[in-house]
Structure 1
Amino acid sequence: MPDSWLYPALGAAAVIGILTFGIPLFLAEYFPWRSIYNQRHGKPTVKTESYKGRTAMITGANGAYGSRAAKIFAHRDIDTLILVDVADSGRVKKEIEDELTAKNKPVPKILIWKVDMMTFAGCKELADKAKRELKDGYLDHVLMTVGILSFNRRESPEGWETSIQVNYLSNALAALLLLPLLKSSPSNPNAPVLTFVTSFGIYPASFTMGVPKTGSYLKKLSNNRDGLEQGHQYGRSKALLLYFARELADRVSAVYTGKNKVTINSADPGSAWTPLTAPNQGMLIPRLIMNFGARDAKYGAAALVNGVSASWEEGHGKIMQDFDTATFPPFMLRKSGQVAQQRAWDETRAEFEAKVPEVKAIYELLERK
Structure 2
Amino acid sequence: MAATYWLPILIAFVAIAVVSGTRYVLAEVFPYWMLKKQKHSKPHIVTESYAGRTVLITGAHGAFGSRAAKMFKDADTLVLIDVLDCTALKEEIEAERESDSKKKPNILVWTVDMMSYASCQELGRKIRTLQSLDHALLTAGILSFDRRESPEGWETTMQVNYLSTALLALLILPALKSSPSNPNPPVLTFTTSFGIYPASPTMPAPSRRGSYLKYLAREDRLSLAQMQPHMYGKSKICLLYFARELAARFTAVQQVKGKNDVPVVTVTSGDPGPAWTGLTQKNRDMLVPRLIQNYGSRDPHYGAVALVNSVSVSWKHHGRILTDNVETLPYPPLMARHSGHLSQKRVWDETRQELEAKVPEIKAVYGMLAAT
Question: Where on the TM-score scale, by shorter chain, does this alignment land: which range?
Answer: over 0.9
In 1, Cα distance between equivalents of 2:59 and 2:26: 31
The normalised TM-score by structure 1 is 0.95
Is residue 330 of structure 1 aligned with residue 333 of structure 2? yes
State the Cα distance separating 1:254 from its structure 2 match.
Answer: 2.3
**Root mean square deviation of aligned Cα:** 1.5
| 1:215 match: secondary structure | coil
Equivalent position of 1:171 in the other structure: 165
Q: Pick the aligned partner of 2:293 from 268, 290, 295.
A: 290
The letter for the 2-side match of 1:193 is V
Query: Bigger CA drift: 319-328 or 349-358?
Result: 319-328
Is residue 70 of structure 1 aligned with residue 72 of structure 2? no
Equivalent position of 2:351 in the other structure: 348
Equivalent position of 1:47 in the other structure: 46
The answer (yes or no) to whether the contact 2:128–2:174 under 8 Å persists in 1 is no
Equivalent position of 1:317 in the other structure: 319
| 1:289 match: secondary structure | helix
Equivalent position of 2:234 in the other structure: 236
In 1, Cα distance between equivalents of 2:237 and 2:146: 19
Q: How many positions carry a matched residue from both structures?
A: 362
The answer (yes or no) to whether the contact 1:153–1:225 under 8 Å persists in 2 is no
The answer (yes or no) to whether the contact 2:250–2:263 under 8 Å persists in 1 is no
Query: 1:134-283, aligned counterparts within 5 Å?
Result: 134=130, 137-210=131-204, 211-225=206-220, 228=224, 229-256=227-254, 258=259, 261-283=264-286
| 2:128 match: secondary structure | helix
Q: Pick the aligned partner of 1:122 from 112, 119, 122.
A: 119
Q: Pick the aligned partner of 2:85 from 58, 79, 88.
A: 88
In 1, Cα distance between equivalents of 2:290 and 2:59: 24
The letter for the 2-side match of 1:120 is Y
In 1, Cα distance between equivalents of 2:3 and 2:128: 79
In 2, Cα distance between equivalents of 1:190 and 1:20: 46
The answer (yes or no) to whether the contact 1:212–1:220 under 8 Å persists in 2 is no
C-alpha change, 1:127 and 1:192, in structure 2 (3 Å) is same
| 1:237 match: secondary structure | helix
State the Cα distance separating 1:101 from its structure 2 match.
Answer: 1.9
In 2, Cα distance between equivalents of 1:5 and 1:141: 68
User: Residue by residue, what CA displacement relative to the aligned partner does 1:66-107 show, whole Å, maximum 9, x if unpaired?
Assistant: 000000012xx1110000000100111111122222222222
The letter for the 2-side match of 1:294 is S
Equivalent position of 1:104 in the other structure: 101
State the Cα distance separating 1:298 from its structure 2 match.
Answer: 0.4
State the Cα distance separating 1:15 from its structure 2 match.
Answer: 4.2
State the Cα distance separating 1:212 from its structure 2 match.
Answer: 3.1
Equivalent position of 1:10 in the other structure: 9
C-alpha change, 1:92 and 1:59, in structure 2 (3 Å) is same
| 2:72 match: secondary structure | helix
The letter for the 1-side match of 2:93 is I
Equivalent position of 1:59 in the other structure: 58
In 2, Cα distance between equivalents of 1:6 and 1:23: 27
The normalised TM-score by structure 2 is 0.94
User: Residue by residue, what CA displacement relative to the aligned partner does 1:257-312 show, whole Å, maximum 9, x if unpaired?
Assistant: 64762101101000000000001111111000000100000000000000000111
Q: Which runs of 4+ in 1 moved over 4 A?
A: 225-228
State the Cα distance separating 1:196 from its structure 2 match.
Answer: 0.2
In 2, Cα distance between equivalents of 1:5 and 1:91: 75
| 2:93 match: secondary structure | helix
The letter for the 1-side match of 2:246 is L
Identity of aligned residues (%): 57
The letter for the 1-side match of 2:13 is A
The letter for the 2-side match of 1:306 is N
In 2, Cα distance between equivalents of 1:96 and 1:7: 72
Unaligned ranges ≥5, structure 2: none
| 2:51 match: secondary structure | coil
Unaligned ranges ≥5, structure 1: none
C-alpha change, 1:90 and 1:219, in structure 2 (3 Å) is same
